[in-house]
Structure 1
């Protein structure tokens, strides 16, 4: 039920995101308007992070996720009705995006905190890998499906997303927990920010989250894919589609492999190795002038990133007390979400200053340097053997 709900919710989000982009650009013809869609989705995460974590640790996480998915379903239903009825304007779309972003801000970290209650601790790393396949499958199918359905009619992808969100909500409500929900803590200012304090006091958790954050921040070469497709690899939109598909395929293949053959020993070193390979793959992509080589490099990049995600998520969830998991997951989600956004910004600005290839290569070299520095700064993470600590 958890996996089906995660798949349906991720699929609905991907379809909606593509359809929203087309809809806004068709209405406005403005690239800046597209940027506002991303900003309005991301801003609620920044504003609500610490509140989200506290709520996730005080109330039934199944209920929170289910309500969030229902709200997302109602939001895209409103978009569907507005398009069909002809009364939906651009300000209304932006308002819907804010509501959608707020619901996602609650759903994502709560979903992460819910997973350890669904499976026994000894199966968690495999469950994280299986869960990641849901996201990657949606990342592959969702955008293409959203585009095809939009060609049928602008309201069609939103209508399909509505059904997916409501079905996901029902699936989450049907989940049976392996562990009981945490007892409620009194709501104090200290308890709201305690997730940040907990991470700061735990070298393994801090090293894990910060390594992934900085690596993603520096290695944001995927933001440069349109430039690579057009000016360096000399392909058309089809080439850009293949380049965007490659990391998701690599991540999906690795997630499937890790669900069958889990990581068990020397997980700290394996995380460092995965991020190092991520940096090397970024360098190969940066200097490649052949689309096949670029696709392989991006697939390796996606696969190595998935290893890092599985190890990071498993370590954070197993080393965090159940009663703190919502707050720690919320901070983790904020860091990773911020690094993705700022990573794309950093790559774009660096490319504007130094050129596209130097910018991508700089990200690869920077990632390799970060691995070396983090291995010295966080010896406890380097020595981490098993997920149980």
Structure 2
């Protein structure tokens, strides 16, 4: 159902100052400057887009300062990004977290489920699973055994949790993700690769968000760990015994090999990876498609395959771009040398 808020309500939810003839105008959506309609609110954080805003059809704008010559209502806020998040949270689709267990769900007698939790249709919850207060578990999930889900966490549709997965409070796990599957660890026995049994678990700390279709393997021994506040995009592979620090950002199609370690606040660009048993220091940043094959220290900025310091990487790019010009110059020098040698030989 479409939801709307008055400008006055939006000013209150953002802690902003409303500049408008009336605060009763209804806002039905948040949109970009160029696409916003007459019943929608937009935002501006960079004044280079001010001319675009003046041409916009939006009913109102979230702005860090009062704007001149702008023909729309304004909500002046301290932090546009924080205000935008607050408004988007109100308009974002929400799950029905009405407490209760769907009649088609299968719940083991040894499971412990809070009365305030919601369990969707066709979901299976096995023995010794603990589901705390205000947890949402969507349809078609399978939580095999010996798992726990902290209060306020949302487990969306079609998610599998193998045994010994612990999820903290206020986490989000999006659809299609698999937690605690067996790690990819093989050793040759009689020239045949044999799978090493993985008997560890997965620990996902509080306020972690995991995107759709991610795979996080259980540890061989101990635990694979996703640290407090870290955010994982879609299509990410975290191998057995990997440890991710607090508040890391990992974008789509990244991979961490077995026993790799990320410090706190590490950012991985899309399609980048870390080799097995390699550590990445806190605050480091990996550019897109980078491959880290040896330890890097805190605060590093790296790119490339294998990853090197980003400044060095860009110097390589500049040098590579000059290769055709340098080849041309070398050919010209070769011709001059040949001409000089010929002239010298003729004078003998």
Report TM bin, short chain: under 0.3
Larger of the two Rg values belongs to structure: 2
Q: Give TM-score, length-normalised by structure 1.
A: 0.18
Q: When you count helix as a share of all residues, which structure comes out higher?
A: 1
Q: Give TM-score, length-normalised by structure 2.
A: 0.19
